[in-house]
Structure 1
Amino acid sequence: MKLAALISGGKDSIFALYTMKKQGHEITHLLTMMPEREDSYMFHHPNVHLTAMQAELMNIPQITGKTKGEKEKELKDLQNLISKVKGKVDGVVTGALYSNYQKERIDTIAKKLGLKSEAPLWNIDLVKYWELLLENKFEIIITAVAAEGLDEKWLGRKIDKNAVKELIEISKKNKINIAGEGGEFETFVLDCPLFSKKIEIVEARKDWKGNSGVYLIECARTVPKQESIYK
């Protein structure tokens, strides 16, 4: 099938795209919503502008849409964005894991537009999911945290096996979703097999308020994978 992938820059949307490509489907477009508020119900906010860099590294055209991030109204904005690929693709791909709120709404929009809705990660075992991400050499950092047990030290942290173990332990104590789908944290993909180069952070800052914070990437560049200095 020819598919358009909804991407936010985070691990779930990029890995869903990667999974569909591995299954032999063609990803012809990337679709990204640009929320104007940080607490959007549906869409990531931190560093979403850098999806343009990811799109370039995957050599896939990107179409963006703006939304004020207001509940339900943003769904109309999403429908307007997806409608731009109607007639060009057979369906849309999302990185939904367990969120019925997200999946049901995208399914409804896709059905209205006569498109299939593909969620290849739906109901995946979350521990196995992290194993797959690391095995497939996804380089992921935390870009926002908003849950008990996740402090400022997590902002900008690269996820490795030790970090996953810590997330599992925090989950046992504080009942968080270890994939962050409940808003506990957000991520950004710096490298994966789909990228021709990797993204290197040149300048970033942490913005911490109360019990939550974001890691804002203010300057980034692409570098050949073997030359990156990012550790």
Structure 2
Amino acid sequence: MRLAALFSGGKDSTYSILLAERMGHEVAVLLTFLPKSIDSYLFHYPNLHITPLQAEAMGKKQLLIPVEGRDEEKVLDMALADVAGMVDGLVTGAIASRYQRDRMAKAAEKHGLKLLTPLWGVEPSQLLRRVLENGFKMMVVAVAAAGLGEEWLGRMLDDQAVAELSRLKEKYGVHPAGEGGEMETLVLDCPLFSKKLEPRRVEKVWRNNYGYLIVHEAVLVGKS
């Protein structure tokens, strides 16, 4: 199938694209929604201005879609209407959120698109290990959960971080993959990229019990 992919620049959406292509599908276009604030209930927020560099590294067409107001489902519906004639389906990085999956499925079905969710139901810690085994380099760019403090901002997700997230799940109920918004990531490198993303200037923003990392400047560099 020719697919459109919901793409946020994070690990889940990027890994779902990799899996879809390994299944033999063609991801023809990336749909990146641009909410006005971190309070979005359907879409990723941090560092979406960096995603065109990632799209370039993947050699893929990208549509940047502003989200005005609170009617995010309407914006999703309009975006799928625009691409329905170009693709046969939609791939997303949903893992366990039935709220998000049900709304994506409803919107896709309305426009005659099949929904592909290759990460659905995978145990979170196992998913993180699979992503790492596939050569992903990911940086934490937002946290909002007990046990995830300011020190996590800018941290690379590696085996040690995955082990710590598993312990936080036992202690606080944190979803290790951040499905509930506990954590957001930015993919710096993966098998889909012809070049890797290198942040050059970043800023931490911390507000009481949550925070995010703004990547003010980044470039694509060759893989050594």
Relative to the length of structure 2, the TM-score reads 0.98
Question: Secondary structure at 2:175's aligned position in 1?
Answer: coil
Would you say 1:4 and 2:11 are equivalent positions? no
Amino acid at match of 2:84: K
Identical amino acids, percent of aligned pairs: 46
Structure 1 equivalent of residue 172 of structure 2: 174
Paired residue for 1:76, among 70, 74, 77? 74
For residue 68 of structure 1, report the CA deviation from its aligned partner. 3.0
Alignment of 1:77-96 (within 5 A): 77-96=75-94
Structure 2 equivalent of residue 21 of structure 1: 21
Structure 2 equivalent of residue 199 of structure 1: 197
Amino acid at match of 2:40: S
Question: Secondary structure at 1:102's aligned position in 2?
Answer: helix
Q: Distance in 2 between matches of 1:49 and 1:80?
A: 21
For residue 82 of structure 1, report the CA deviation from its aligned partner. 1.7
Q: Distance in 2 between matches of 1:127 and 1:177?
A: 9
For residue 224 of structure 1, report the CA deviation from its aligned partner. 0.5
RMSD: 0.8
Write out per-residue CA displacement over residues 158-213 of structure 1, whole angstroms, 9 at most, x where no aligned residue.
00000100111111100110000011111110100000000001000100010110
Paired residue for 1:149, among 147, 151, 157? 147
Structure 2 equivalent of residue 163 of structure 1: 161
Structure 2 equivalent of residue 229 of structure 1: none
Paired positions, count: 224
Write out per-residue CA displacement over residues 38-88 of structure 1, whole angstroms, 9 at most, x where no aligned residue.
200011111011111111111110012111352xx1110011112221111
Paired residue for 2:107, among 106, 109, 115? 109
Amino acid at match of 1:86: A
Amino acid at match of 1:23: M
Question: Secondary structure at 2:218's aligned position in 1?
Answer: strand
Write out per-residue CA displacement over residues 18-47 of structure 1, whole angstroms, 9 at most, x where no aligned residue.
000011111111111000122000111110
Alignment of 1:127-138 (within 5 A): 127-138=125-136
Q: Distance in 1 between matches of 2:169 and 2:189?
A: 26
Amino acid at match of 2:9: G
Amino acid at match of 1:91: G
Q: Distance in 2 between matches of 1:49 and 1:102?
A: 23
Aligned partners of 1:31 and 1:82 also within 8 Å: no
Relative to the length of structure 1, the TM-score reads 0.95
